[in-house]
Structure 1
Amino acid sequence: MNTLTFPLSAAPEIPQDKDNGQDYYASAAQTKALLRFGAQYRLQRIQAADMITTDEAATLSGTTRVTMNAWIKSGRCIGVSHLRRGYKLPRWQFEPFIFPVIAPMAAALASTDGWQLLAFLESPHPALDRQSPRTALEQGTPAQRVIDLATAEGH
């Protein structure tokens, strides 16, 4: 698997204990560090080996780039904004055990935002024994279970 995982331990620490009179908000320096970390993560994720262009995705799925862009906008497939014009898409979403789950999952999450959909599929979930929904689907977990998790998170 050539995907990046979000190393939460690498994110800047924000104080959680407010009993000692500390402010409830992150400092300006912590906020800047977190935003910088997020931008670096997104750039690395876009450049990962499993990400393809809309033209490559169209060829892979037997459709056109215009159709692929429409699918991204409707939540039928996952596309994340590329720094240049267009989108990058995770190639693995076109696998037969994942592709049919994308649209109902997007509807359940009430989002077509590619980063949100990608984060949901790639983040470990306690209800899946700390597996990501993507890994769970790859290992045979019923699609409805993942859609039910998305529904719970979307509400």
Structure 2
Amino acid sequence: MNILTVPFSVALDTPTRRSVATDPYASVAQTDALLRSGAVYRRERIQAADMITTDEAADLAGATRVTINAWIKAGRCIGVSHLRRGFKLPRWQFEPFVFPHLQPLSQALGTTDGWPLLAFLESPHPALDGQTPRVALEQGVDAQRVLGLATAEGH
């Protein structure tokens, strides 16, 4: 899916040695730092104001918590694993400009895991003039264009 294309030295703000042949693999320290930063991001994202519980999502969607959990499992909505029990969901996904496109996007990306779905929808994309797919959908960009980008990324 997403491939880290930024050199580790840039991503981790460490100097590089250009005169020495570089190892194509990350060191243990670089890997640990990258994993820690990912864990911090996930924790902060789960705690963001736009994230709701499955019970809140059920109220918002006029469904039951069991239905919301089934939708998450099927890729019909985005649920990210909460450190405790259950899932947290971005509230904005239930808006009519996004919700109908979630399952086709999930299928195109080849995953029902909420983190890659969330990352795809919230990451700026050059083919969308730097907009995120979510913002592009909000602004009326043809959903087939966004779906095409997901299909390309999923392969």
Q: Which SS does the other structure have where 2:34 is aligned?
A: helix
Counterpart contact for 1:11–1:37, Cα < 8 Å:
no
One-letter identity of the residue aligned with 2:21: G
Q: Give structure 2 stretches of 5+ with no counterpart.
A: 1-5
Per the alignment, residue 99 of structure 1 pairs with 99
Which deviates more, 8-17 or 135-144? 8-17
From the superposition, tell whether residues 32 and 55 of structure 1 become closer, same or farther in structure 2 (CA, over 3 Å).
Answer: same
Is 1:75 aligned with 2:80? no
Q: Which SS does the other structure have where 1:151 is aligned?
A: helix
C-alpha distance in 1 between matches for 2:10 and 2:65:
36
C-alpha distance in 2 between matches for 1:96 and 1:105:
15
From the superposition, tell whether residues 18 and 25 of structure 1 become closer, same or farther in structure 2 (CA, over 3 Å).
Answer: farther
Per the alignment, residue 4 of structure 1 pairs with none
Counterpart contact for 1:14–1:26, Cα < 8 Å:
no
C-alpha distance in 1 between matches for 2:58 and 2:109:
25
Q: Give structure 1 stretches of 5+ with no counterpart.
A: 1-7
Per the alignment, residue 154 of structure 1 pairs with 154
From the superposition, tell whether residues 19 and 111 of structure 1 become closer, same or farther in structure 2 (CA, over 3 Å).
Answer: farther
Q: Which SS does the other structure have where 2:49 is aligned?
A: coil
Q: How many residues of Structure 1 are paired with residues of Structure 2 in the alignment? A: 148
From the superposition, tell whether residues 87 and 22 of structure 1 become closer, same or farther in structure 2 (CA, over 3 Å).
Answer: same
Question: What TM-score do the two structures reach when normalised by structure 2?
Answer: 0.89
Q: Which SS does the other structure have where 2:24 is aligned?
A: coil
Deviation of residue 11 (structure 1)?
3.9
